[in-house]
Amino acid sequence: MKLGLQGRILLMLCLVSLLQLVLLSGASYYYVSEQRYREVGDQALDVARLVAREPGVLAGVKRADTARLNVLVERIRAEVGASYIVIGDKDARRLVHPNADRIGQPMMGDDPKRALQGEAYISRAQGSLGVSVRGKSPIRDELGQIIGVVSVGYLVRDIEADLQGFLRFGLAMTLLIVL
């Protein structure tokens, strides 16, 4: 079947419109995804700062009371919905970790060094529990001395699962418009 000039123009317009729609959908998903990661990072950092100032955490880190710290931190983790909260001492040895067999082992990566130097920050990195967006904060005693580090993380796979709903909706709307 041969298309006339009008048919070719209509086909070309449809293809250009489809391309624009796909690009717009992709850009929208990217924007929403980046915004979500930024929000999660900000939340992780806020929680890390709060945990670092919690009197029970300060006392537990000073005494290296892993049992009491783990109970306290698990309660906080459940309340804020974080994937994990890890606390390390001034040598970046874990005092709190979701996997009890990792308590006493060094925290992974170069990340703890920045917090142990006094910086509170957000990172996205591979840890012992998987790739996560995490907020890290130093833990300071009453004199301002750094006595440990707290890391609050949200696993990327959980964030991606949340974003799948938006992706499905976007694809459905694109398909609807094309039809």
pLDDT of residue 4: 85
Which residue, 59, 42, 65, 48, is CA-closest to 151?
Answer: 48
Beta bridge pairs of residue 136: 121, 151
**Three-state SS at 9:** helix
Strands 146-155, 130-140: parallel, antiparallel or unpaired by DSSP?
Answer: antiparallel
Q: Answer for the pair 95, 87: CB distance below 8 angstroms, yes or no.
A: yes
For residue 1, what pLDDT band results from cuts at 50, 70 and 90?
Answer: low
pTM for this structure? Answer: 0.80
- Which tokens in the block code for residue 147? 């006595």
Beta bridge pairs of residue 146: 140
For residue 8, what pLDDT band results from cuts at 50, 70 and 90?
Answer: confident
For residue 174, what pLDDT band results from cuts at 50, 70 and 90?
Answer: confident
pLDDT in tens, 102-161: 888 888 766 678 888 889 999 988 877 788 899 999 999 999 999 999 999 999 888 888
pLDDT in tens, 34-90: 999 999 999 999 999 999 999 999 999 999 889 899 999 999 999 999 999 999 999
The residue whose two tokens read 């006595």 is 147
Please give the Cα distance from 163 to 25 (Å, whole number): 14
Strands 146-155, 84-89: parallel, antiparallel or unpaired by DSSP?
Answer: antiparallel
